Structure 1
Amino acid sequence: MTHYEPTFASLSQHEVPNWFQDAKFGIFSHWTVGSVPAFAPVGKDPFTLAREEGEEKAFTHTPYAEWYWNSISIPGSPAAEHHAKVWGNCEYETFVNIFLEAAKGWDASRWEQILAASGAKYCVMVTKHHDGVLMWPSETPNPVHGEKWSSQRDLVQECADAARNAGLRFGVYYSGGIDWTFQGLGITSWGTLFGAIPQDDTYHAYAEAHWHELIRKYQPDVLWNDIGYPRFGEGAAQLMADFYNGNPEGVVNDRFDFIGVMQGTSHADYGTPEYSTESVGPKKMFEVTRGIGTSFGYTQEEGEHSYMPIAELITMFVNIVADGGNLLLNYGAMPGGEIPWAQQMRLLAMGQWLSINGDAIYGSRPHEVSKLSTSEGQVVRLTKGADGAIYAMVCGRSSTANLVIDGLPAGAVHLLGYKNQLKRDGNTVVLPVRPDDTPVYTLRIG
């Protein structure tokens, strides 16, 4: 077994394990204090806002409810105006107290049921977001607020148990780069975002202690850091080496050192495009991460009217997988841990679709010809299945039972969910029924 050293050359020898490449679908859990005020303006995701209206707008009008503390620290922002109107002079600490009290009543078994039914293969839980609140009773409490800034109920262990009982692997998210109890409130640009990363010895030791504690206590398979790492990444390589030496099947994301990964001087197993389905490079594993709406954390402003429709969600997922990536789809839980019903519906719809079409997804790899189209213009995405077959996923509904796909690979054709072989004449396949009840249906070839 390979022994890893804390160097780029050594860490780069780590291969992305098959389980992660095979999984395709993971669940992200944002259960944060921001769910108490539960406000953010609904609109475009922050990356689209930055491109179209400037980076300052992406922060002043961020749709991320989990950023509430920062948002109300920006004079004139929609969140600041909302806070003054609804909450007056209420301090953020009040929300922390309400949240931790509500979390005492959480029913972990409900998460287990939803995770099991979603079809996901791994789950990543937020253990500390940018507000610094810890979701477990840490051995290293917050130096500013002490134990009142952490849950005395071990929510991380209970989520890990729920995920594993549901058959999923478990990962931990930790905001290594930002902790507003140390510094950084009032972020309004990418420059002030990265400038807000504490670089002092105290925070470096604090974050290091937490990461090592999370690995030791919960034995995660995924380390999902965010924004960056203190002291310009110092110690991250040692952390990764220790993690791999204890769990060679583990994976580490690219957010310990974005810039170093892009420059080829820092290690990561995979990239994490956010609210983007673009891969991060032709040879780099990637995981698209996004919310069901445009917020990760729960907000009362979102709902059925603003969540991604199920048909679009499944189609997006198919395109990500056909391009060689995973989808880490987030739900934002309410203060007591409840997952909004409209979000549950989408997770359950994913599970239902995967129960029929999973052979085209789990364990698949991109086909050398990844995209075709029907004579009516529906996009067809191809994958190579773990069973050696080729799978053609048709995105959209045909107006006829005679499906014509130019360039369809040779071989016998079956429709997933239907037991009999389909009639085929060259590029024309005769469907037994027109599959109107699904946004994407799958042909197995071979």
Structure 2
Amino acid sequence: MWKKLMFFVLTLCVLSAKSQYVDTAQVIYFNDLNQLKQHKSPQWFNDAKLGIFIHWGLYSVPAFAPTKGSIRDIMDKDRRAWFMNNSYAEWYLNTLRIKGSPTYEYHKKNYGLDFDYYKFSETFNKELAGWKPEEMAEIFKNTGARYVVLTSKHHDGYPLWPSRVHNNNMTEAAQPVSRDIVGELTKAVRDKGMKMGLYYSGGLDWTFNRTPVLGIRGLKISTPHSLEYANVADAHLRELIEKYQPSVLWGDIYYPDQGNISGIVADYYNLIPEGVINNRWGASGLSDFSTPEYNKFESIQEDKWESCRGLGYSFGYNQFEDDSHTLSSTELIHLLIDVVSKNGNLLINVGPKPDGTIPAIQLDRLKELGEWMKVNGEGVYDTKPWQVCSGETVSGKEYRFTQKGDKLYLIMFEKPEKEEVFKNLVLKTGTELSLLGNHFTPKWKQNETNLKIDFPGDISGKHAYVIEFSALPGCVIE
């Protein structure tokens, strides 16, 4: 009770201190599901478009998962095969507990079946000594990300901050994290002008329930249902919110039935007026945005959403992933454009090594994305969907639309030819065109249904090409 009272007092103090910056009519939230469900994603999140997800923990030490395909590839063929052949390295402990799985065999061969997973904390803490959070944050900034989300605690139950909350179920082999990863990265990210968010696994904690997940239905069975776990999860979340004040609170799987997630979310919204939560908090139905994983919507969505996935098949670091398992730079950029055109953000994941370095393949993709965004970000950041999200030229080249104010952006997935004809697009008289990153002015002609654009110069750039229209088209002929 004392902690809840202090948290409420702290909330009021923060709101008072911020009163000169926020609307004095700021809504005060209560533990009321109907009221909480009226909360909407803030403008900064709607405008951000690109975030970096970080899966980092003890699983980064063995850094193993089968590379038989992405979650969608495997489940489309046989849903029952996924957990046995889980390509998520961060699920190492669960897959290890499935006798005969590739991870079980890998662990037996390289460490022995008597080796406690939590003993990886020794290596993790040793490697962590050389981590430079400022350098990591600089990489994300140069990528063009506007926010970062770190796994504060994944399903293995190992926290990446010096928590005051004691977990009686953690094995003796687990050494507490030697550095405040959450705190140090939060400061570094904010120092670079980005928002910081925190992931927390509420639905699964394998220190409380050691029953391995064998199928989708098993997720609920493997969720700890004890009051003890609910109290730990509640205390963890309150600690993270009070200490680090994350701009994004990103839950996963479910949340314990006996937990007080609605009360926590109410306090969170009050403490952080521009805070935002995802849709994975269980039966409460609380959500500011949805989170398709290794998936995306095929049409414009009225409500905000965020597509999350790894650059490869795994979120956590998998030392056996190579180029053939990883999105190309072009695929990554096209994914971002497609998601943004439909009212989404892209939360693209990196899986650092135990020492905090990002694998070279992933670093290459981030660098290419950042270089493209420096030239073409005008057509991505702060935009909203237009009346349609996509189209194609007469020759079959795909493109996507975004809109910012009175400007329209047409983003081509292939390099334009000297002359391109765009179907069913009618411009207003006097509309001016530019091709971002190029110094010539495209010329255009209009007939009743199609738009012809001539590109008079040598076109520079790669991956995708952004045409800016100074005025919104008068109509699109469907």
Fold shared per TM-score above 0.5: yes
- Pick from 283, 288, 309 the counterpart of residue 269 of structure 1: 288
- Aligned equivalent of 1:150: 176
For residues 386-412 of structure 1, the C-alpha deviation after alignment (integer angstroms, 9 at most, x for no partner) is: x420000011134x3112112334121
Residue 100 of structure 2 is aligned to residue 70 of structure 1:
no
What is the CA RMSD across the aligned residues, in angstroms? 1.7
- Aligned equivalent of 2:317: 298
Alpha-carbon deviation of 1:304? 2.1
- Pick from 126, 131, 140 the counterpart of residue 165 of structure 2: 140
Letter in 2 for 1:314: I
- Aligned equivalent of 2:474: none
Alpha-carbon deviation of 1:207? 0.5
Deviates most, 356-365 or 144-153: 144-153
- Pick from 391, 403, 419 the counterpart of residue 402 of structure 1: 419
Structure 1 SS opposite 2:388: strand
- Pick from 62, 72, 81 the counterpart of residue 37 of structure 1: 62
Alpha-carbon deviation of 1:104? 2.2
TM-score, normalised with respect to structure 1 = 0.94
Does the 8 A contact of 1:133 with 1:149 survive in 2?
no
Which runs of structure 2 are paired with 1:152-191 in the superposition (5 Å)?
152-191=178-217
Letter in 2 for 1:377: G
Does the 8 A contact of 1:5 with 1:238 survive in 2?
yes
- Pick from 386, 390, 408 the counterpart of residue 390 of structure 1: 408
Does the 8 A contact of 1:184 with 1:197 survive in 2?
no
Does the 8 A contact of 1:273 with 1:279 survive in 2?
no
Does the 8 A contact of 2:64 with 2:318 survive in 1?
yes
TM-score, normalised with respect to structure 2 = 0.88
Alpha-carbon deviation of 1:223? 0.2
Distance in 1 of aligned mates of 2:319 and 2:223: 30
Alpha-carbon deviation of 1:434? 5.1
Q: CA separation of 1:225/1:61 partners in 2, compared to 1, >3 Å: closer, same or farther?
A: same
Does the 8 A contact of 1:175 with 1:225 survive in 2?
yes
Letter in 2 for 1:80: Y
Q: Which has the greater radius of gyration? A: 2
Q: How many residues align?
A: 436
Does the 8 A contact of 1:30 with 1:296 survive in 2?
yes
- Aligned equivalent of 1:335: 354
Q: What runs of 5+ residues in structure 1 fail to find an aligned partner?
A: none
Which runs of structure 2 are paired with 1:42-441 in the superposition (5 Å)?
42-54=67-79, 56-89=80-113, 90-145=115-170, 148-231=174-257, 234-257=259-282, 260=283, 266-278=285-297, 282-385=301-404, 387-398=405-416, 400-410=417-427, 411-426=431-446, 427-433=451-457, 435=459, 437-441=461-465
Q: What runs of 5+ residues in structure 2 fail to find an aligned partner?
A: 1-25, 471-478
Distance in 2 of aligned mates of 1:270 and 1:104: 36
Deviates most, 167-176 or 12-21: 12-21
Deviates most, 91-100 or 342-351: 91-100
Q: CA separation of 1:131/1:149 partners in 2, compared to 1, >3 Å: closer, same or farther?
A: farther
Distance in 1 of aligned mates of 2:32 and 2:72: 33
Structure 2 SS opposite 1:161: helix
